[in-house]
Structure 1
């Protein structure tokens, strides 16, 4: 499973000092990473190599920042309190504004 940010990076961003929620946060890192990589679709190869290694550069930094924003949103909305603000398949605006121009839809 690809993780765009590390657990310590996520905890620093969310200002978490203890280890009680590490398993939950790790799941959110993995799921959020997958959602962001699915969103950018055809640009995934600018962020992650074919062997799953992160590719250093501006696209990675933007997707990492987007993931941190998404983790904050997920943390605030643990029970789906704001789900009516999003349509199926959408990410919060604060996330997509960072990666929108990386989005390259793949047509089958």
Structure 2
């Protein structure tokens, strides 16, 4: 599993000082990373290499920022309170606006 941010980066962003929710936050980091990499589809190779290692640069910085924003959204909406604001398969606008031009849809 590729994690675009570390647990500590996520905790710093969310201003979390304890370890009580580390396992939950780790799950969200992994799931959010997967969702964002899936969203950009054909341009994943500008963010991670073939072995799943992050490639330093602008694309990775934007993906990391988008993931931190997404983690904030997921943390605020633990029970799906804002679920009606999104359509099935959509990410929040504040997340996609950071990475939209990295998206390269692939046709199967």
TM (norm. structure 1) is 1.00
Shift of 1:86: 0.3
Shift of 1:17: 0.1
After the TM superposition, list the runs of 4 or more consecutive aligned residues in structure 1 that deviate by more than 4 angstroms. none
Question: Which residue pairs with 2:95 in the alignment?
Answer: 95
Question: Which residue pairs with 2:2 in the alignment?
Answer: 2
Question: Which residue pairs with 1:77 in the alignment?
Answer: 77
Shift of 1:5: 0.1
Shift of 1:10: 0.1
Q: 5+ unaligned residues in a row in structure 1: which ranges? A: none
In 1, distance between residues paired with 2:102 and 2:29?
Answer: 20
In 2, distance between residues paired with 1:21 and 1:46?
Answer: 31
SS at match of 1:23: helix
Shift of 1:106: 0.6
Aligned residue-pair number: 108
TM (norm. structure 2) is 1.00
1:48 maps onto 2:51 in alignment: no
Deviations 1:12-42 (A, max 9, x none): 0000000000000000000000000000000
In 1, distance between residues paired with 2:3 and 2:28?
Answer: 10
Q: 5+ unaligned residues in a row in structure 2: which ranges? A: none
In 2, distance between residues paired with 1:43 and 1:98?
Answer: 14
Taking only aligned residues, the RMSD between alpha carbons, in angstroms, comes to 0.3
In 2, distance between residues paired with 1:2 and 1:51?
Answer: 10
In 1, distance between residues paired with 2:8 and 2:102?
Answer: 26
